[in-house]
Amino acid sequence: MENKILKIGLLTSGGDAPGMNAAIRAVVRACTFYKKNVLGIMRGYEGMIEGDIIKLDARSVGNIIQRGGTILKSARSKEFRTPEGRQEAFKHIKKHGIDGLIAIGGDGTFIGLHKFFEEFGIPSICIPGTIDNDLAGTDYTIGFDTATNTAVEAIDRIRDTALSHNRLFFIEVMGRNSGYIAINSGIAGGAAAVIIPEENMSFDQLYAMLGEGGKTNRKSNLIVVAEGSKIGGAHALAKQVAERSDYFDIKVTVLGHMQRGGSPTYFDRVLASQLGVGAVEGLISGENDCMVGIRNKRIVYNKFGDVMYKHHDIDAEALRIAKMLSI
Ligand code: F6P
């Protein structure tokens, strides 16, 4: 069944992620292919509220597939969380004749779009774009692969200096509620331990693993800590270890927003292209109020209600491997 959508509004919202531009390009070019108009809504829901809307065509998304960030810019809009804000946004959607919406972002983006659909009935699809890979209903989110590669490169560099000085490093990676970047960069970077929000490791357990050099015979240790660790971030953990022992020469590196920038990997570009096309084809064929995802290399459509408040479970096998190899 093909519905009558003619003009699609496209936005990026929440934390930017490498590969968002590749997804924008894919959406715009798929729209061109299917003879649909597409408008870019700037700065996520903020631009929707303010009517900051531009025309996009196949040429205006040239030369962006390799660029980090998002040409549509992004924001975390507080106003869109209010009924008044959404009402204001709807005025502009109506004025521009937008009859379908595609939003690229994370869970906050989905919740906003779901509410907007419930209130105004505009057919909507979200594309998962966040470095955190924390969204249920898709094996991967756009940006996760690039961010993890960036983290691994940083860990490799830190390893050189850590070893030269026999130092214990706490390296903090992003992930407010998610250990995906930590666990994967920890395995790939050969970390001695990985601390993630999804696992209840106590500080005593961590301290025992460090073993004051005696048990492990390690000259230096790299500990990868996810931002959302329940026993404290990298600085807090370093402080606790220092308070307990003066054996270690401890340093801390917080990788921070550098993980969000940079040119997307081939994986993220391909993923973004698949999801972008999937979103347009889904919307045209009547999929609605849902998130397009990739499961076992196939495009799937998940109803918002089924995935919105669900956490993408941490890969138990990856965790098992990380522990086994970090002896
Ligand atoms: O959701 C992506 C993310 O990078 C998280 O890993 C991090 O906690 C958060 O965004 C940081 O957000 P902001 O850039 O708004 O500080």
Return the closest-CA partner of residue 126 out of 250, 258, 287, 249.
287
**254 vs 189: CA distance, rounded Å:** 15
Interval between CA 15 and ligand 1 midpoint (Å): 6
Q: Which atom number of ligand 1 is nearest to the Cα of residue 176?
A: 8
Interval between CA 296 and ligand 1 midpoint (Å): 27
In the three-class reduction of DSSP (H, G, I as helix; E, B as strand; rest coil), residue 207 is classed as helix
Is any ligand 1 atom within 6 A of the Cβ of residue 131? yes
Residue identifier of the C-alpha nearest atom 14 of ligand 1: 15
- 10-residue mean pLDDT series, the chain (327 residues): 83 98 98 98 98 97 98 97 98 98 96 97 98 96 98 98 96 96 97 94 91 69 96 97 92 98 98 98 96 97 91 90 88
Residue 233's Cα: distance from chain center in Å? 19
Q: What local confidence, expressed as pLDDT, does residue 212 receive? A: 64
Interval between CA 233 and ligand 1 midpoint (Å): 15
Start and end residues for every CATH 3.40.50.450 domain found in the chain: 7-143+264-307
What are 291's strand-pairing partners?
A: 126, 302
What are 299's strand-pairing partners?
A: 294
Residue identifier of the C-alpha nearest atom 16 of ligand 1: 15
**192 vs 163: CA distance, rounded Å:** 13
Residue identifier of the C-alpha nearest atom 2 of ligand 1: 15
CATH of 7-143+264-307 given 1.10.3720.10, 3.40.50.450, 2.60.120.650, 3.40.50.1370: 3.40.50.450
**179 vs 86: CA distance, rounded Å:** 33
The architecture in CATH of the region 145-261 reads: 3-Layer(aba) Sandwich (3.40)
**202 vs 9: CA distance, rounded Å:** 47
Is any ligand 1 atom within 6 A of the Cβ of residue 130? yes
**30 vs 283: CA distance, rounded Å:** 11
Active site residue: 16, 99, 107, 132, which one? Answer: 132
Q: Which atom number of ligand 1 is nearest to the Cα of residue 181?
A: 6
Helix intervals (H) in the chain: 20-33, 44-50, 83-95, 107-120, 144-165, 180-188, 203-210, 234-244, 266-284, 304-307, 316-325
Running DSSP on this structure, what letter comes out for residue 311? Answer: B
**190 vs 159: CA distance, rounded Å:** 9
Give the strand order in the sheet containing 100-105.
53-56, 37-41, 7-12, 100-105, 124-128, 290-295, 298-303
Start and end residues for every CATH 3.40.50.460 domain found in the chain: 145-261
Residue identifier of the C-alpha nearest atom 5 of ligand 1: 175
Is any ligand 1 atom within 6 A of the Cβ of residue 178? no
Residue identifier of the C-alpha nearest atom 6 of ligand 1: 175
Q: Which atom number of ligand 1 is nearest to the Cα of residue 259?
A: 4
Q: Is 132 a catalytic residue?
A: yes
**251 vs 238: CA distance, rounded Å:** 7
The torsion defined by the Cα of 44, 147, 107 and 47, in degrees rounded to 10, comes to: 0
Q: What local confidence, expressed as pLDDT, does residue 4 receive? A: 86
Mutate to test the pocket of ligand 1, among 74, 132, 141, 196 (most ligand atoms within 8 A of CB): 132
